[in-house]
Structure 1
Amino acid sequence: MRKPKSMIVSHKFNPGHYSHLIANQKLLVEAGYDCTYYWAKEFDHFTQHKQDDVVNGYSSVFELKRGDLLVVWFPSLRVLFDMFLTKFFTPASVIYIFHEPVDSVRAYIKSGFGLAKTARIMLISLINRLLVALSDKIVLPSENAFQTFKSRYHYRGQIAKISLMFDDECGENQILSLSARKYVSYIGTIAEDHAFDEFVKFVVDALKKDELPNLNFLIASRSKLPDDLLNILADFKGDPRLKIVSGKPLSNDEINSYFSQSIVVWNAYRRSMQSGVLPKAFMFGTPVLISSNNRSEFFENNKTGIEISLTYQKSEIYEAIYRIQSDFQKFSNLAREKFLSNFYYKALAADFIRLVNQREY
């Protein structure tokens, strides 16, 4: 008897996205699907998948039958074409994991985006609206994304709120103790609404004053550092307490290593629909700093991290880090528990398959 097929699609390369794709494949295989990846060729260099599981051409879309799935993880023009082919030339279902429903123009401007970048976001949102129209079912990864979608999109298909999924790339025995952790870290994309400028200002202040003397500071991002912030950091080039890895894609092993060695990770964004940094930190038992603008149902203040205000007062950030240091094991254990119950793909499998199996009307 033929197994149902699922094709996981992502033509936009981002090393941080690899974990989601692998987790989704494992979920579907365990649910009885014959699963393949149809993705950006850069993902081929990662090692957690079998090369035989990768398809290279859109012709594979035409092989999808009734009961099969096209699972789309990230938007692009190319994936729009794949969804069009699936929708109109096959009987398979299209499921779209919709990370970032477009917010208001005011929200982006307020978060630090300029007019030109906000206009670009609005143009990209037009592609997303087409992807939504071609989707049979849509997954929203947070309450914020779910409510924004319901208020700003007219969609008659089936939707579900299912958080971002990950495999457990750590394991209980690999979570480092406080004594083995050395970084206060910024890990991930550098963007205006991620308040990276505030993190840099904090790091500079700490290095000047020799605060947190037993800790180092890490910036790990494939993004290129903005010139103005590079100038601010120039005086500390070569400082052994500052490590910068930027401007090139990081491997999944590198990313995991940085999360595991951090005492706390910056998640104090000015605006966020969802964050892959938060669950990845929790995976390694690493608490986060979060802002009052970036609250979500997955964060518990004084349990899985510390919330700071949008004023980004340095004294407040120092106090938060000292509090985490003083009771690190509690924070670490609760962060790890939050990962296992909210982001580990095995905990999400029933909800995902329930959505897949819901009849379309």
Structure 2
Amino acid sequence: MATNVTPVRIGILGASGYTGADLVRMLLRHPAAEIRALTAERQAGKPMAEVFPHLQHYKLPDLVKIEAVNWDQLDVVFCALPHGTTQEIVAGIPNGIKVVDLSADFRLSDPHSYAEWYGHEHRAVELQKEVAYGLTELNRQGVRKARVVANPGCYPTCSLLPLAPLLLEEMIEPGGIVIDAKSGVSGAGRDAKQQNLFTEVSEGFNAYGVGHHRHMPEIEQELRLAAGRPVTVSFTPHLVPMNRGMMSTIYVRMADGVSADDLRETLKAKYESEAFVGVTAPGIAPATRHVRGSNHALIGVFADRTPRGAIIVSVIDNLVKGASGQAIQNMNVMLGLGETTGIDQAPMFP
């Protein structure tokens, strides 16, 4: 760590999962980051290198249970815990500590909607009122002022980056939006599950959460804010036999007099000063391999054969821009650091 940089003392709750490992991987090259605490319930007491051998060359604290964390030695906490376990924990973290939550526990601003989609009452309703939704490019000012940031889901990130600006500018109609999305298997987490076994996933892909996936209300919540009225989307996620990566193929109906070229130019103007969001040239379809291992999002726009129809292709790495990279981007904004610090690595190719 550079000697002229004020250290930021960091704790990662749930460090034994994929997003926890990617947080560590990127924070190790962050010039201000000092990783002071790593937690994992089932792996508590083990060195991080025993759980993730690829991190054996780095000096890291051993994994401990959450109750063993010394909050006094932390400035920022990343919560990479399972959905439904974070609200009470975050509510108990001292007010002087900034929090970026990677679970879904604070993403829905309406507690009643949360209870409907997640099957239990919200356990930190008062804190929810103070939370900023952390899609950085679309809510930078909210993130900058917040103590607690709800890191967006991977599917919402991939879908909202192209859709929200187009709805805001009234370039597309809010009705009839179809999001056909696909994710690598790491999006399902690291816990052993029959449906994620190699023989269950390999040599094919499948739809899941059809008609009732928990990312639907999150996507519609943010699209409603952009459009200024309710937006209902048709969203279907699919599991693809690859480790990481995400693609959303989005079908929209353009407003009268608007062309696919107009959509592309609107998105280019919106993101031309952004470090992590790019728009491909006409005729170039982005692929997941174009963003693998990076915090980048890449968007392509195409005219459809249907009248006033357009097809948008959006890709991210689900573990980076869809989770850990965006979480660090939000931390940088919260602390007034350079937004790209520690997460400016180029994509891995091939």
Measured against the shorter chain, the TM-score band is 0.3 to 0.5
**Structure with bigger gyration radius:** 1
What's the TM-score once normalised by structure 1's chain length? 0.40
